[in-house]
Chains A and B, each alone.
Chain A
């Protein structure tokens, strides 16, 4: 084999690797990107049932209920336009409380409720998830 040819083959291989990475990433992103929803978005656009998403909003007043097992909680997330009941099994973050912001990671159920695998509570201003801040400014649930 000539040096020129080998160089060409190597360059092509490099190109194939980069394109392969791109294709792999795109197919993965199509399936696994977790989009951010506010309760109102679900009301407008229907339930995203097929994949994990993030649900963000305010924990409704007097909505937190504890199950008898001591580790499962139920609460309602609202954004001024709609409400979504959420179930979460685990240790809630310290700043998780009623009338405060929350981002729940998990899946919607066919009945319109949401099962969370993880909760992110609003810490102080410095550690607020930007997507939550943006959404809540938009919907006017967060007053500054």
Chain B
């Protein structure tokens, strides 16, 4: 019964999405009928409430392990711990698409409830656009990915969840990522709305900014968490694999980072009008491209759950309709977007334009590298694109971008003198140069990218806090703190990435129980191997004793796990975090001579990567609070019409 109710709620929500779009369009045609426009907001909220209820119904079905529901039967198992029953709701294609539309509807409802600054007709057009997007994805759910489909007869028990997904990370990572990913739809809808009502200007940018910022914070956290999850769960010692699915989350992040900066130019200086609108369209387009890549089943990945060509075609059609529609609207209306204010070649605006260009180049490089294997496959070639392509191509541009990030905040709006900017950046430049020379002398053998990376990190780290120089810290606005902390986070993350690839030590050995091996500054002894048992797995667990030099010994317990349903084996790495890095151990197999394979890494400063990610998101949160707070104070009565 619950499944039927859930399906009914989804149909109702889809009906409301139709109403939301149609009433929105009508009210824009006939502005005198204010009742039409007034209805749009509550409808958007009701639509979100219905789909949230449908989502809760699906969670309930997973929690009680209702095996008469096909989705539960194929993806869950009654003996799974409850956390994975709960999180397993979105650990499959249909459930994760339902989460997708839930986030879409909730974001739309958020705008309908909270947005008070933008012009009334622009707001209605925005909510209308959000309704139209929702409609396509409701159709996708209801016609080709129904999560509530029944199975008759019901099997005795389910087939279980992919063990790689059986990790607490599954409870947080997908919802966080989706709030970022799909939350970007708000920027898209705002852009469409402002194009429809010819309202592209600073007021529109100020209204859009918090929504972009909020989605971007979630996206940053989601990517950071996903990277750490892959790092410890896959047991490969890496933190980024340029997997198409990772790229699918990185591309919207690159586009929205560019958007975040250009929307600031538009809000503060009234420049870059058309470009900002374009970026808003591109950012969510990248989210949809990512959804297509992940959900169409054309990729091999732990994220690509099932292969069904019909779904791929459906998603591809939606992609073309929405992106094509938005670009067509842009083409038609870009002529009506007035030119913005002027600026000099050396100015904060110019730096932000360059920032956008670099981000666009990285985005292009990642997009082409991600799509090329698919295109090649269509032409009959089997190709895979990996780190040898992405690292140098994207990395070199990223380094230039981060140098620019160091300089940008030290420039004034409108116009500045190059000599003065260089003088302001003298200390960071000196520090960067010092690191450049010191690293070359101390470690002449490390690669060019890590070497430059360490130097740029030093330069950018010092430069990022320079805007606070000689300022009254108490009176510094919160959003300036936000910028400083985010930029510092970028430098910190870069330092971690460069240090890890420059100084990482790896060891692969086969040892007997009682034997000791060395990795980096650690000596690691394999004490014993014993079987152990968990709720739905059995494992061999190694007990290892590690010590650094003559320091205190500590214990590491990596496992090789076997899951019963579906029958799969995974490696649970053991990680010991020190102040200056992580010791990472994976247990391999036993050879015919009784020795055990061990893979050990000493990864200096690797934790800085995720610390940097957290700082970037924290800076975003401070900026968001600062902006919203300031606008509360400044708000005009007429702006709140």
Contacts of B298 in A (CB 8 A): 130
Q: Does B392 contact A (CB under 8 A)?
A: yes
User: Can you list, as one digit per residue, whether each of B353-385 has a CB less than 8 Å from chain A (1) or not (0)?
Assistant: 100011011111100110010001100011111
Give residues 55-101 of A contacting B (CB, 8 Å): 66, 69-71, 89-92, 94-95
Residues on A with C-beta less than 8 A from B568 are 123-124
With known contacts A6-B342, A54-B384, A33–B566 Cβ distance under 8 A: no
Which of chain A's residues have a CB closer than 8 A to the CB of B385?
Answer: 29, 32-34
Considering the chains assembled together, what is the distance between the CA atoms of A34 and B386 in angstroms?
Answer: 8
Flag the segment in B10-18, B140-148, B224-232, B588-596 that touches A.
B588-596
* Contact in complex: B365, A28 (CB < 8 Å): yes
B554 to chain A, nearest CB (A): 23
Interface string of B83-117 (1 = CB under 8 A from A): 00000000000000000000000000000000000
Q: For A70, list chain B residues within 8 Å (CB).
A: 509-510, 591, 593, 595, 597
Assess whether A49 is interfacial by the CB under 8 Å rule.
no
> For the complex, what is the distance from the CA of A69 to the CA of B275, rounded to whole Å?
59
Residues of chain B from 324 to 354 with CB closer than 8 A to chain A in the complex: 339-340, 342-343, 353
**Once the chains are docked, how many angstroms separate the CA of A72 from the CA of B363?**
39
User: Are B364 and A91 in contact, with the CB atoms below 8 A?
Assistant: no
A143 within 8 A of partner (CB): no
Q: Which of the residues A7, A22, A35 comes within 8 Å of B368, measured between beta carbons?
A: A22
Within 8 A of B (CB), among A29-63: 29, 31-36, 52, 54
Report Cα–Cα, A76/B477, bound state, in Å: 65
Partner of A21 from the list B360, B597, B599 (CB cut-off 8 Å) is B360
Is B575 located at the chain interface by the 8 A CB criterion?
A: no
Contact in complex: B384, A32 (CB < 8 Å): no
Which B residues touch A54, using CB under 8 A? 382, 384
B389 touching A21, Cβ below 8 Å: no
Chain B nearest CB from A16 CB (Å) reads: 8
Choose one: B340, B360, B376; the contact of A17 (CB below 8 Å).
B360
**Bound form: Cα–Cα A33–B373 in Å:** 9
Report yes or no: A71 in contact with B275, Cβ–Cβ below 8 A.
no
Q: Is B5 an interface residue (CB 8 A)?
A: no
In the complex the two chains form, what is the Cα distance from A121 to B98 in whole Å? 32
Say yes or no: is B246 at the interface (Cβ < 8 Å to chain A). no
Kindly report which residue of chain A lies nearest to residue B368, judged by CB atoms: A25
Contact B300 A130 (CB under 8 A): yes
B397 is an interface residue with CB less than 8 A from chain A: yes
- Of chain A, the residue at the smallest CB distance from B383 is A33
Find the residue from A22, A90, A130, A134 having the highest chain B CB count within 10 A.
Answer: A130
Contact A28 B369 (CB under 8 A): yes
Q: Give which listed residue, A10, A91, A129, contacts B599 with CB less than 8 A.
A: A91
Chain A's closest residue to B371 (CB) is A25
- A71-B365 in contact (CB<8A): no
Whether A92 and B381, one on each chain, are in contact in the complex, defined by CB atoms closer than 8 angstroms, is no
Across the interface, which residues of A come within 8 angstroms of B361, CB to CB?
A: 17-18, 20-21, 24
Closest chain B residue, CB of each to CB of A38: B382
Q: How far is the CB of B398 from chain A (nearest CB, A)?
A: 12
Give min CB distance, B362 to chain A, whole Å: 8
- B339-A3 in contact (CB<8A): yes
Task: For A25, list chain B residues within 8 Å (CB).
Answer: 364-365, 368-369, 372, 393
Residue of B with least CB distance to A26? B368
B389, A3: Cβ atoms under 8 Å?
no
Kindly identify which residue among A28, A36, A71, A92 contacts B384, using a CB–CB cutoff of 8 Å: A36
* Complex partner residue of B372 from A14, A16, A29, A130, CB under 8 angstroms: A29
Say whether B384 contacts A13, CB under 8 Å.
no
What residues of A have a CB within 8 angstroms of the CB of B384 in the complex? 33-34, 36, 54, 105, 131
Q: Knowing A36-B383, A71-B508, A129-B300 touch, does A91 contact B597 (C-beta < 8 A)? A: yes
At the interface, yes or no: B431 with Cβ under 8 Å from chain A? no
Determine if B392 and A28 form an interchain contact, defined as CB atoms under 8 angstroms apart: yes
Taking the complex as formed, is B569 at the interface, i.e. its CB lies under 8 A from any CB of chain A?
yes
Question: Could you tell me the distance between the alpha carbons of A35 and B384 in the complex, rounded to whole angstroms?
Answer: 6
Cα–Cα, bound, A129→B298 (Å): 10
Instruction: Report the bound CA distance from A90 to B509 in whole Å.
Output: 9
Q: Which residues of A contact B386 (CB under 8 A)?
A: 32, 34, 52, 105
Q: Choose among B364, B376, B509 the residue that contacts A18 (Cβ–Cβ < 8 A).
A: B364
**Binary flags per residue of B559-591, CB closer than 8 Å to A gives 1, else 0:** 000000011110100000000000000101101
Q: Is the CB of A29 within 8 A of B589?
A: no
Q: Does B419 contact A (CB under 8 A)?
A: no
Q: Which residues of B contact A66 (CB under 8 A)?
A: 591-592
B305 contacts across to A, CB distance below 8 A: 126
Query: Does B306 touch A at the CB level, under 8 Å?
Result: yes
Asked if B599 contacts A3 (CB within 8 A), the reply is no
Is A71 touching B509 in the complex (CB atoms < 8 A)? yes
B140 vs chain A, min Cβ distance (A): 21
Residues of B within 8 A of A1 (CB): 342
Contacts of A92 in B (CB 8 A): 589
Give the distance in Å from the alpha carbon of A119 to the alpha carbon of B471 in the complex: 56
Q: Is the CB of B369 within 8 A of A89?
A: no
> Is B388 in contact with chain A by the CB < 8 A criterion?
yes
Partner pick for B339 among A4, A22, A91, CB 8 A cutoff: A4
Residues of B within 8 A of A16 (CB): 357
Interface string of B491-518 (1 = CB under 8 A from A): 0000000000000000011100000000
| In contact, A90 and B364 (Cβ under 8 angstroms) | no
- Complex Cα gap A70–B592 (Å): 9
Q: Are A91 and B510 in contact (CB under 8 A)?
A: no
Contact A34–B353 (Cβ < 8 Å): no
Q: Would you call A33 and B339 a contact (CB within 8 A)?
A: no
Most central of A20, A24, A105, A128 by chain B CB within 10 Å: A24
Choose from B376, B393, B566, B589 the contact partner of A91 (Cβ within 8 Å).
B589
Distance between Cα atoms of A28 and B366 in the complex (Å)? 11
- Please, how many angstroms separate the alpha-carbon atoms of A33 and B376 in the complex? 10
C-alpha spacing A70/B517, complex, angstroms: 14
Contact in complex: B569, A94 (CB < 8 Å): yes
The chain B residue with its CB closest to the CB of A5 is: B342
Q: Given the complex of chains A and B, what is the CA–CA distance between A127 and B162 in angstroms? A: 10
A128–B307 Cα gap in the complex (Å)? 11
- Residues A21 and B383 in contact in the complex (CB < 8 Å), given A70-B509, A71-B508, A90-B599: no
Quick check: A14 and B360 within 8 Å, CB to CB?
A: yes
Bound CA–CA A36/B300 (angstroms): 15
A59 to B386, CA, bound (A): 24
Shortest distance between the CB of B66 and any CB in chain A (Å): 22
14 pairs, A vs B, C-beta closer than 8 Å: A1-B342, A4-B339, A7-B339, A14-B275, A17-B361, A22-B368, A25-B368, A32-B388, A52-B386, A66-B592, A70-B593, A71-B588, A94-B589, A130-B298
* Further 9 A-B residue pairs, CB within 8 A, beyond A28-B389, A128-B300: A3-B342, A14-B275, A18-B361, A20-B364, A25-B372, A29-B368, A34-B385, A36-B382, A130-B300
Chain B interface residues toward A at CB < 8 A = 272, 275, 298, 300, 302, 305-307, 339-340, 342-343, 353, 357-358, 360-365, 368-369, 372, 376-377, 381-386, 388-389, 392-393, 397, 508-510, 566-569, 571, 586, 588-589, 591-593, 595, 597, 599
Task: Give 8 closest A-B pairs by Cβ, nearest first.
Answer: A70-B510, A21-B364, A36-B382, A91-B588, A32-B389, A25-B368, A94-B569, A3-B339
